[in-house]
Amino acid sequence: MATSFFRGAAANLIAKVALVLLGLGITVVVARRGAAVQGAFALFVACESVLLTLFSGFGLALAREVSHHRADAARSLSALLLASLGVGLLASGVLLGVAQVMGREPYRHLWLLALGAPFLLMVPTATGLWMGQGRMLPLNLAQVAAPASVLVGLLVGSVMLGGGFGAVAEAASAPGLTVMAVLTAWVVGKSIVGLSSAGWAFHDAGRARPDWTLLGRDARFIVVIGLTNVVSLLNYRVTLFVIEHFKGLADAGVYSVAMQVGELLWMVSSAVTVSAYHRIGDPDTRAAAAMTVRAVRINVLATVACAPVLLALAWWALPWALGQAYFEARWPLAALLPGIAGYAAASSLSAFYTNHLGRPHLSAAVAGLSLTLNVCVSLWAVPRWGALGAAASTSVAYLVAIVVACGIFLKHAGLGWSVWWRRAGADNTRLDSDSTAPGRTHA
């Protein structure tokens, strides 16, 4: 079991490295067009992320159906994909209305997101099947394919506008690479991957007549998951909108680069959590808690160890790769890293609340606490210190919230705080002795 866990985590980590490299490639192409262009792109992607996370409950409900209830997911998959398509069409209408009302960058381009919305929502739904099965290959391919297709579209567009394949090296400075072109490549690439993921999931699960039982039974779970994930996302991105409001698109672009680089630390924690997700969903609370403790330890220790290395590399690389406009991103990055490293525990703790306990509102409470702190402090700090104030407020909010999240987990697992630093054998003994604790019930 330990071997397969680390094999899965390694496969996820490789995928995350690929995602990072592709993401950095996209960032170089976009950011070198200017900080304002980067700011517009970052805000557009944040809006898309809100849409995807709002309806991410479809995929997580399917994952729980497979990993926790051990159910055959073919008919549920059909129903949930149809539901995501219908919800996507409704979201398209809302986005078209917002694009008409909002006349400034990047919100006036949300009509592009409206065109792709029905297909974009298929990716988190389809990948829920593979997450629940613990199948990392199709899950990772679906995740990597989206930015790969976007980057290819950007480079092809640059070559065409630049007059030949020799212009690929100049893609970052191609004069025809506008915000509109970047956003079009983003939406088209991700829509293609959405359709492909749905087809692959159907092939794996088998085509079956839709069974709406899961949707009816877990409707509340799906809604709470979506709202929880939106709160979590806003917790990560709210300061970007605050900076844009007080300081403008260019400052938001610089800060978005600091955020993107800092959150590279989470590729380790995300890889570990995705690999462990189906085991954290084990109906035996003792087994689920033991895996959660193990995942949290790995996540936090790895990010704390990597943070100084990342800062040292970024200190030199950001101005060199993106231009002197991003020189100012380095200090906000330094202020973000302590909070980002501590918050690496959040993904595994959230998996325990959601996949084992079936109580996603606990994740919402933690994220809501962090979001509230972040908004309150950043509204005071950003007008005074700009991006550095936003970064400091984010770190404070993350660290306070993760302490609360750990306390909630320990209460439901029937464990004490010392479990975080006990050796592995002591963990098992402690978990065995607590197997009759009040919190130790099957979800």
Q: Any alpha helices (H) in 32-73, and if so which ranges?
A: 35-54, 57-67
Which residues are CB-neighbours of 430 under 8 A, at least 6 positions away? 415, 416, 419, 422
C-alpha–C-alpha distance, residues 278 and 67, integer Å: 5
Mean pLDDT value across residues 124-153: 81
Mean pLDDT value across residues 271-281: 81
Out of 118-122, 351-355, 379-383, the most confident range is 379-383
* pLDDT tens readout for residues 28-52: 888 887 888 888 889 998 988 888 8
Contact of 299 with 273, CB cutoff 8 Å: yes
> Please, what is the average pLDDT of the chain?
82
* pLDDT tens readout for residues 378-416: 999 999 999 999 999 999 999 999 999 999 999 999 999
pTM: predicted TM-score of the whole model, two decimal places: 0.76
Question: Is residue 115 packed enough to be buried (19+ CB in 10 Å), middle (13-18) or exposed (0-12)?
Answer: middle
CA end-to-end span of the chain, whole Å? 22
Largest CA distance in the chain: 71
Q: How confident is the model at residue 169 (pLDDT cuts 50, 70, 90)?
A: very low
Which residues are CB-neighbours of 158 under 8 A, at least 6 positions away? 29, 167, 168, 170, 171, 174, 176, 177
Q: How confident is the model at residue 232 (pLDDT cuts 50, 70, 90)?
A: confident
When mean pLDDT is compared across 139-148, 179-188, 416-425, the lowest value belongs to 416-425
Is residue 151 predicted with pLDDT exceeding 80? Answer: yes
pLDDT at 7: 65
Contact of 348 with 299, CB cutoff 8 Å: yes
Q: How confident is the model at residue 130 (pLDDT cuts 50, 70, 90)?
A: confident
How many H-runs (helices) and E-runs (strands) does the chain carry?
A: 17, 0
Is residue 67 predicted with pLDDT exceeding 50? Answer: yes
Positive or negative, the CA dihedral 355, 361, 367, 370 is: negative
Contact of 329 with 261, CB cutoff 8 Å: yes
pLDDT at 29: 82
pLDDT at 65: 76
pLDDT at 6: 59
pLDDT at 270: 78
Q: Any alpha helices (H) in 206-284, and if so which ranges?
A: 213-217, 219-247, 249-262, 266-280
pLDDT at 271: 75
Q: How confident is the model at residue 425 (pLDDT cuts 50, 70, 90)?
A: very low
Mean pLDDT value across residues 113-128: 86
pLDDT at 435: 39
Higher pLDDT, 136 or 164: 136
C-alpha–C-alpha distance, residues 290 and 313, integer Å: 35
Mean pLDDT value across residues 218-234: 83
